[in-house]
Chains A and B, each alone.
Chain A
Amino acid sequence: MTRLRRAGLAPDRGPLAVAAEGPGGLRLLALDPEARALGLRPGEPLGRVRARIGVPLQVHPADSESDRAALLRLCRWAEGYAPVVAPFGAAEAADGFYIDVAGASHLRGGEEPLVDDLAGRLARSNIPARIALADTPGGAFALACYGASDRVIVPPGGAEPALRALPVEALRLDPGTVSGLRRLGLRRVGEVDALARGPLARRFGEALLLRLDQAMGRRPEPLAPLTEEAAYRAARGFLDPIGRQSDIVVTARLLMAEIAPRLERDGIGACGLRLVLHRVDGVMRVLDLGLSRPERCPERVAALVSLRLDRLGAGLDAGFGFETVTLTVTVTGALSARQTELGAAPQGDGIDALADALAQRLGRPLLRLGARASHIPERAAHPRPWTSDPTPWPDHLPPRPLVLFPRGEAALDVLSTVPEGPPRRFRWRARIHAIVHAEGPERIAAEWWHAPGAARDYYRVECEAGRRLWLYRDGPHAPGRPAAWFVHGVFA
């Protein structure tokens, strides 16, 4: 609401409301004092409200992203008071922030002048605020939202009596818990606190006790302060927008050269990079580059950017050109100086470069065959990223086919001479296979902890043409049940 008024999107006078899609259509989310004076409450359906009140009501759609951005701007501003500023999360309705003033209040001459100063500045900026200062974040939140006045300062150790008189909503509980407590006649924090903890936890879960203890200061509540902006970032603006691929590549190289000393100083390299191209008309193009190994060489980064732009081709759509190019290191990894082997090219270096080149040029990762501990053949192998260590392969397995099908392909028209033995002849892939040699069976049981299934009897067979197949019968032989045969793989 304040954001709308400050941005000039809403008139300064007249009842104003923000509505969002809720159960059963649009519902009111926030109201200004004038709208509140009309008897409106958040959560009411907008249609009913419009029908009830006679005066025109200004309604704006909710925009949680802009609200969040505005809150973060305010938090940044509030960092002037103390370094640890944490915006409210979802549990606190995301409409305020905490300032941890411990050890910082003396800079403003004590706690009271600090709160006065904060309130004064916010009021001058037309931001309505309720401020509370207490021992714990939970206590401060409760007093700010449900306290007696706009400005509450609780002396150290005095939070508990002040909190006892507050309604249970002040504990940052979910609505279900609140209504449950009210149904039991528990309206005040003090009444809840006086009860035995065991039954309370059983009835309402751990969350209630956690919130209670956090407010009372019996359990610590760490704040999640605003994260710092990425330290490894470089940007370059252009008077004349650039639009040619070579220019972008050169810019990327220069930006990386700017970042590289900072990375080197900290002993790290970039594993992930983000190149943001700001087009003149405000469109942003974001290229995310992943590297297989920490890297800080500008030339290699430029080569990868070039490959990526190659792949994008016309998809980049430079339009009237890019006016700003930003390079940010999004993922870092330790990269210490290495001694290179004299004379010989170190093993694996070339593969790194190749893997990155393929990833940028084709957008496809390089994989490595990996073993998995499973008896079921189709589960026993799966590809992994090539950077992972080679998995140990069991060396005591009976022969396995060179190519394994993801699932067995049915062998039809099976003719066997011995009912429990391998087939003599069958049709598979529109071709009759006459078996001249068979080895087996190798029985592989199903993994009951994944999915129940029948054990399979595998046979290695060679047909007249010399093709070697891996056949299995689904389930052991049983009289009266026709055997189902499947081809699961082909040997070299």
Chain B
Amino acid sequence: MGLDPANQTGRASATGSPRERLASLRARLAGPGGPAAARPVLPLGLTAIDAHLPGGGLALGPPHEIAPMEPADAIAALGFTLALCAAQLARTQGAALIAAAPNQPLPHGHGLAGLGLDPGRLLLLEAGGDAEVFRALEAALHARALPVLIGLLADGLPLKPGRRLQLAAEAGSEGAAPPLVLILRPPQAGLPNGAATRWSIASAPATRDRFGTLDNPRWRARLERCRNGRGGDWLLEWDHAAHRLRLPEPLARDAAAAGRSRA
């Protein structure tokens, strides 16, 4: 008989410290039917936000839903989506797929430099509708060839396709890390679905450099829903050179004034 039965039984975690037991319970709750092992995540590099997200970052595999706060913020939401895409692409090799429903704003190649994203690493699929976007994303999830998948939807993510995407993420081949799946939808189309997080994005005045010209873009990001996590509301700044999000420095909140004082 073993001296340490905890190592031999499947209930290892259940007999550990309360913290471990809590973690195991969380993991079991995290994915219905999914493996309870540590999921790969994309850390945002900001402890203030990562602490709100289960696993310390955006989970790779399940879809993340991003919506503008109002229709005029659609481009800001696209910018936030592509910023997350750039963050993931900076960590991995490969390309990102953008599957877009008709009449959705598509990124302009020359404008991607402002986000630090290489246009050569973006693949574009102009789908005929939301249903085709879902099928394309599902096929890409099964193929496990791309580290980032982005769906630009016209009508929002309903429950069934969301669930299918989640299953496809879990069913993918062993070994390869699942991709980061980002779903961008219009503001009014909030439907119950299986998304891991739901972000709401509004544009905010950009930072100014020391000469007072426009510099890094900023967004007001609200984490409206987060499974196994907490919501939050932040003003985020995208540093395109370092490929990371930043919280604005408290002293530089009034960027124009800060620029003047330094000049």
Q: Spell out A's residues near B (CB within 8 Å).
A: 345, 347, 349-351, 353-354, 357-358, 361-362, 364, 366-371, 377, 380-381, 383, 386, 390-391, 393-395, 397, 399-404, 429, 431, 436-437, 439, 460, 462, 465-468, 489-492
Contact = CB atoms under 8 A, between A and B. Distances in A.
Contacts of A353: 143, 145
A115 B200 CA distance: 86
B226 interface: no
A366 B126 CA distance: 8
A358 B136 contact: yes
Contact of A491 (B75, B94, B118): B75
B105 A403 contact: yes
Given A350-B145, A353-B143, A393 B108 contact: no
Nearest to A428: B72
A362 B132 contact: yes
B206 A468 contact: yes
A366 B123 contact: yes
A492 B125 contact: no
Given A350-B145, A468-B206, 15 more contacts: A347-B93, A351-B146, A354-B97, A361-B135, A364-B126, A367-B125, A393-B110, A400-B110, A402-B111, A403-B78, A403-B106, A437-B214, A466-B205, A491-B111, A492-B78
Contacts of B111: 399-404, 489, 491-492
B126 A462 contact: no
Contacts of A377: 108, 110
A462 B124 contact: no
Nearest to B220: A466
Nearest to A394: B110
Interface residues of B, number: 55
23 contacts: A354-B146, A357-B143, A362-B125, A377-B108, A381-B109, A386-B123, A393-B113, A400-B110, A400-B111, A401-B111, A402-B75, A403-B108, A439-B214, A460-B214, A462-B206, A466-B205, A466-B206, A467-B73, A467-B203, A490-B75, A492-B78, A492-B83, A492-B217
A462 B123 contact: no
Given A370-B109, A466-B205, A492-B75, A357 B125 contact: no
B120 interface: yes
Given A462-B206, A466-B206, A366 B125 contact: yes
A491 B79 CA distance: 8
B204 interface: yes
B150 interface: no
B244 interface: no
B78 A354 contact: no
B122 A492 contact: no
A462 B214 contact: yes
A393 B109 contact: yes
Nearest to B81: A492
Interface of B: 72-73, 75-76, 78-80, 82-83, 93-95, 97, 105-115, 118-120, 122-128, 132, 135-136, 139-140, 143-146, 176, 202-206, 213-214, 217-218, 238, 256
Contacts of A381: 108-110
Nearest to B213: A439
Given A467-B76, A468-B206, A402 B122 contact: no
B135 A362 contact: yes
B85 to A, nearest CB: 12
B120 A368 contact: yes
Question: Interface on chain B toward A: helix, strand, loop, or mixed SS?
Answer: mixed
A347 B120 CA distance: 15
Contacts of B108: 377, 381, 400-404, 489
Considering residues B97, B114, B125, which has the most beta carbons from chain A within 10 angstroms of its beta carbon?
B125
A8 B71 CA distance: 72
A361 B139 contact: yes
B124 A369 contact: yes
Given A362-B127, A437-B214, A467-B76, A403 B107 contact: yes
A361 B106 CA distance: 23
B203 A465 contact: yes
B161 to A, nearest CB: 15
B256 to A, nearest CB: 8
A364 B214 contact: no
B113 A402 contact: no
A367 to B, nearest CB: 4
A466 B107 contact: no
B111 to A, nearest CB: 4
A368 B76 CA distance: 22
Nearest to B80: A492
B124 A390 contact: no
Contact of A368 (B75, B123, B127): B123
Nearest 4 CB-CB pairings of A with B: A350-B145, A492-B79, A390-B120, A404-B108
B204 A402 contact: no
Contacts of A460: 214
Nearest to B93: A347
B179 to A, nearest CB: 11
B83 A362 contact: no
A351 B73 CA distance: 32
A354 B124 contact: no
A368 B112 CA distance: 13
B75 A399 contact: no
Given A364-B126, A368-B124, A397 B143 contact: no
Contacts of B95: 351
A353 B143 CA distance: 8
Contacts of A437: 214, 256
A351 B146 CA distance: 7
Contacts of A436: 205
